[in-house]
Amino acid sequence: MFHSILAVFVITTMSTTVPGGSAPSLAPASTIKPSAAAEIPRMRPIRVFRDVKLKRPIQIVVRPDRPDDLFVVEQPGRVLVLDRRTPAESKATVFLDIRPEVRMKHNEEGLLSMAFSPDVETDATFYLYYTASSPRRAVLSRFKIAADGTADPESEEVLLEVAQPFGNHNGGTVLVGPDGMLYLAVGDGGAANDPMGHGQNLGTLLATVLRIDPSGKEGDRAYKIPADNPFVASEEAKPEIWAYGLRNIWRMSFDRETGELWAGDVGQNQWEEIDLIRKGGNYGWRYREGTHKFGRDTPPEESVFIDPVVDYPRSDGISVTGGFVYRGKARPAAVGVYLYADYQSGRIWGLRAEGGELIEGPKEIARLRNSLISSFGEDADGELWLCTFEGDAMSGEGAIWRFTGPLERSVADAGDVKTP
């Protein structure tokens, strides 16, 4: 039995303080109910590639020079290739298999993300972000594509390693930005409640979004630091940091039209949030969860926090899965709508925002049942896809879904999805 959204979502603007003033306001500036978003269309996800055997699919990536190929990242350490033109077929090819190198002793470890170079046709390069053992760490590496079109696992060049004190909160997305820089989401190091205080510590790479230049080397680094990174002049800060105060961004994406960086930051106990990631932005963890005060500590008076575009309570789900701004052609009414979901509840929402300010929504546009939503994907035409875990999350089975209009539905899919 499906239920409608019960809670009010919280929409805020930036919270600021000045020296000598009061501590940052943690209360929402305003609220809006999902029912106010009637113009956001429903978009039905339809399950495809039903006969393909998938093991915990967590990302769908497109290679710029092969727009019809969907590269499906499996958490244990493989990347499979599917042809989007033949979703009814069961054929899949293996592009990469690094399972022996990947640590996956915890639910949030594994091969977490992949991104192709925008010049892959000439440089044959792609990037992986994964967890490794001895010692436990997160690894960002560059690989080459072999002459036969598959990945060359022996070509690995490690760009960056981040020690992971615990087995959770590894973050999970690497992207090539519109500026050609690499952006990497790194979690706060794990356990619970940020016990080591990484969230507000600019001296660590944890609890951040990083931005590096992969085009060359600099000193003992296998990459360069962009000169316009926000903390390059600070001796106390890691120069790779682009934004901080983030608990555990699992999925983030660039809007292909505006270049804005959207992220879903997974909460601790009560609130999940959607953020627009800004240069130098502090998003408040662990002083707050979403827009709400967290714990007993009081932030310094000079603190400036960027509020989420929206947050939602645990009555609507337990772990946010960030999505994409829709820029496809199949659903013109949905252009400009940011889609996101909750991993556990299966709810999928849409919202519109301008400059970080919510202007419409959020609205529940669909809900999957018996599926755990691990990731969204965007194909070459701007159409959106989903990855899910099916049944028991630890069983490893997975599925791929394609978003459609509300009327496109096959008999085989009748029991899989509900639209409000």
pLDDT band at 386 (very low <50, low <70, confident <90, very high): very high
* CATH number belonging to domain 9-35+55-316: 2.120.10.30
274-277: long-range contacts at Cβ-Cβ below 8 A with a sequence spacing of 24 or more? 274/308, 274/309, 274/310, 274/311, 274/320, 274/322, 274/338, 274/340, 274/351, 275/246, 275/249, 275/306, 275/308, 275/309, 276/306, 276/309, 276/353, 276/356, 277/209, 277/242, 277/243, 277/252
Mean pLDDT of 227-245: 98
Q: What is the pLDDT of residue 405?
A: 59
* pLDDT, tens digit, 9 for 90 and up, residues 151-191: 999 999 999 999 999 989 998 899 999 999 999 999 999 99
**Residue 332 — φ and ψ, nearest 5°?**
-55, -35
| Nearest Cα to Cα of residue 376 among 264, 268, 257, 273 | 264
Instruction: Please check the confidence at residue 9 and state whether its pLDDT lies above 50.
Output: no
- Please, what is the average pLDDT of the chain? 88
pLDDT band at 38 (very low <50, low <70, confident <90, very high): very low
Structure tokens at 197: 């205080």
Mean pLDDT of 207-230: 98
258 beta partners: none
pLDDT band at 2 (very low <50, low <70, confident <90, very high): very low
∠ CA 19-20-22, rounded to 5°: 100
Mean pLDDT of 269-294: 97
pTM: 0.89
Report the alpha-carbon distance of residue 411 to residue 413 in Å, rounded: 5
Cis peptide before 362 (omega within 30 of 0): yes
Mean pLDDT of 128-133: 97
Instruction: Please check the confidence at residue 411 and state whether its pLDDT lies above 70.
Output: no
pLDDT band at 304 (very low <50, low <70, confident <90, very high): very high
Q: What is the pLDDT of residue 414?
A: 37
* pLDDT, tens digit, 9 for 90 and up, residues 54-91: 999 999 999 999 999 999 999 999 999 999 999 988 78
pLDDT band at 418 (very low <50, low <70, confident <90, very high): low
Least confident piece of the model among 29-38, 242-251, 289-298, 301-310: 29-38
Q: What is the pLDDT of residue 391?
A: 73
* pLDDT, tens digit, 9 for 90 and up, residues 313-331: 999 999 999 999 999 999 9
Are the C-beta atoms of 322 and 331 separated by less than 8 Å? no
Least confident piece of the model among 16-30, 64-78, 237-251, 371-385: 16-30
Least confident piece of the model among 239-253, 335-349, 377-391, 400-414: 400-414
Q: Which amino acid is at 49?
A: F
Report the alpha-carbon distance of residue 23 to residue 12 in Å, rounded: 17
Sequence-distant (6+) residues with CB within 8 A of 182 are: 115, 127, 140, 159, 174, 175, 176, 210, 211, 212, 213, 214, 223
Q: What is the pLDDT of residue 393?
A: 64
Place of tokens 């192709």: 116
Q: What is the pLDDT of residue 107?
A: 87
Three-class secondary structure of residue 149 per DSSP: coil
Q: What is the pLDDT of residue 6?
A: 30
**Residue 219 — φ and ψ, nearest 5°?**
65, -130
Q: What is the pLDDT of residue 8?
A: 31
Place of tokens 């992969």: 214
Residue 120 per-residue DSSP state: H
Q: Taking the domains of the chain in order of start, what are their residue ranges? A: 9-35+55-316
Q: What is the pLDDT of residue 64?
A: 96
* pLDDT, tens digit, 9 for 90 and up, residues 321-361: 999 999 999 999 999 999 999 999 999 999 999 989 999 99
Report the alpha-carbon distance of residue 109 to residue 171 in Å, rounded: 9
